[in-house]
Each structure stands twice: as structure tokens, then as C-alpha cells.
Structure 1
Amino acid sequence: MKYGVDGKVRVVRGVGQFNGYSGRVLTVNALSTAPYPYGVKIHVNGKAKTLNMAEDEIELIEPSKADGEQSAVDHPGHYTWLPNGLEVIDLTEHLNFCRGNAVKYLARAGRKGHGTELEDLKKARWYIDREIQRTEKEQGK
């Protein structure tokens, strides 16, 4: 296959309304008979969209990271494991700070590294408790 998972690509033809959009390869179907082997995630008006693309419908902007190499900043694995190309930030950026952080810690619990699951669950609880206190104060309770 020409493009690897996490490679940055641009849509160049095929789905006209998305031509020129760039995104990341999320999945690759290595079967030679698959007409649209690449699952590409793009963002349109702030919303994530996953497209099934043929090899000649996309062009490479930035190659995939080497096997086993993972960026701690751009698309870390503990935030990109959800189905359909959804990343945790796709949800949390639409929530207030405390709710977004609670979701972030719940989603990554046990995925960031050995021994972090309980710590992440406690962090999520801390943000939930803080949001409850804020909401109660706002509602005068």
C-alpha cells in the first residue's frame, strides 16, 4: 500500500466537495481487491468526517511515523483509539473545561501507560466533582 496509517494526505479528486481538504489516514485495507482501501479523517466546519478513498484520490503531504514511533503531541494513541476516526478532542472541544477534562481522563484511563488507569479515573472524578460544585453554586443550591 502506498500510504500508511497516520500519514497526512490531501484529497485531490473523487469526492468533489472535499477536494483540497487534508487529513490523516486512519485505516488501510490491505486487500488488493478493495476499491477504497484508505479510511481518511478530515475536518469540515469543525466536525470530523471519515471518507473511504482510493489511492489515486489522495496525495501524500507527510509520511506516517516510523513503526512504534508515536507523537506525544499530534494524535497520541491513548486519544485516537475510538471507532470511526473519532478523537477524544473532537468531543471535548465542545464541552466546558471541567466536563471536557473529565471525558478526556475517562477515555484515556488505562491506555496511556502502565499504572495510570486508577490515577486517570481519580482525575476524572475530581473534574466531575468540581463541575458539580460549580453547577450547584450557579443554580443557588
Structure 2
Amino acid sequence: MTWTADDKVIVEKGEHAGKRGRVVSVNSGGLYPNYVKVYGSVVRYVWYRDNELKPVAKEAPAKVGDVINHPGHYTWLPNGLEVIDLTEHMNFNRGNAVKYLARAGRKSKATELEDLKKARWYIQREISRLEKA
């Protein structure tokens, strides 16, 4: 298989088997010949041989207005990332703060201020939690 940057993959072997990620870079020579660098959920910049990965089946393109699977106010990040791709690596308070910051003014101009206040509420809750520790 010839991989290119941003290909979606599943790790087939090793400690990260079954984890999904995206190809970050491909090495065809040098220190790691025929290796693919992957970043994704739980998989953090790890080199794999070509045969340790398999492609993720192509999903049908998201329909415009798919408010359940790919809501527009969460899918505007570059490289096809969605806000959940970031927040799933955070604790609940931090993830929710990022979620509300990311969607403020994108979901609805009418709720922009409310979203920013919600983000502030989660940030303050996280600060309080850390101060108690």
C-alpha cells in the first residue's frame, strides 16, 4: 500500500492494534525506510511499517446539514479534523470549554455570548478542581 498524508488508517498489529489515526508523513528512506508516521485517537505520532496498517473504509461524504454525525459548527477545522478529534484527548471540563469556544458564533449568532459564558464556566470549574488538589 502506498500511503499519503491524511490517509485514514487502522493499526493492525502491536500495542495500538485497532486504533484509528491519520497518516502524518511517510518515509521512503533514511532512518525509518518504508515507515508511516500516524497521529490519531490514542495513537500519538508513532512510526509503523506499511504492513502494520490498513486503510479505513471510505465513509460516504457527509451530507450538508448532517446535524447528527458532522454538524457544521464542529467541522470547520483544517485537515478534516472535527472538534471531537481534539476534545477526546482532554478531561471533561477542558473538552467542554474547547467545544463551546469552537462553536461560539458558528452554531448561532444568537447564542454566541451564551456559548462563551458556558466555556468560561467549564474553565472556572477546572481551575477550582485544580486548586483543591
Tell me how far apart the structure 2 counterparts of residues 76 and 49 of structure 1 sit (CA, whole Å): 24
Q: Does 1:42 align with 2:8?
A: yes
TM-score normalized by the length of structure 1: 0.56
For structure 1, list consecutive stretches of 5 or more residues without a partner in the other structure. 1-12, 19-38, 52-58
Tell me how far apart the structure 2 counterparts of residues 43 and 79 of structure 1 sit (CA, whole Å): 22
**1:85 alignment partner, one of 80, 84, 95:** 80
The residue that corresponds to 2:60 in the other structure is: 62
Cα shift at 1:63: 5.2
Are the aligned partners of 2:62 and 2:70 in contact in 1 as well (CA < 8 Å)?
Answer: no
* Partner-residue secondary structure (3-state), 2:70: coil
Distance 1:112 1:49, change over 3 A: farther
The residue that corresponds to 1:22 in the other structure is: none
Tell me how far apart the structure 1 counterparts of residues 78 and 109 of structure 2 sit (CA, whole Å): 23
For structure 2, list consecutive stretches of 5 or more residues without a partner in the other structure. 11-18, 26-56
Cα shift at 1:132: 0.5
* Partner-residue secondary structure (3-state), 1:47: strand
Distance 1:43 1:81, change over 3 A: farther
Which string of whole-angstrom CA distances, capped at 9 and with x for unpartnered residues, describes residues 31-51 of structure 1?
xxxxxxxx9763543434589
The residue that corresponds to 2:46 in the other structure is: none
**1:73 alignment partner, one of 68, 71, 76:** 68
Higher deviation after alignment, 39-48 or 129-138: 39-48
* Partner-residue secondary structure (3-state), 1:101: helix
**1:120 alignment partner, one of 111, 115, 121:** 115
Are the aligned partners of 1:50 and 1:85 in contact in 2 as well (CA < 8 Å)?
Answer: no
Amino acid at match of 1:88: V
Tell me how far apart the structure 2 counterparts of residues 122 and 72 of structure 1 sit (CA, whole Å): 23
Structural RMSD (CA): 2.8
Which has the higher relative contact order, 1 or 2, with Cα contacts under 8 A spaced 6 or more apart? 1
TM-score normalized by the length of structure 2: 0.59
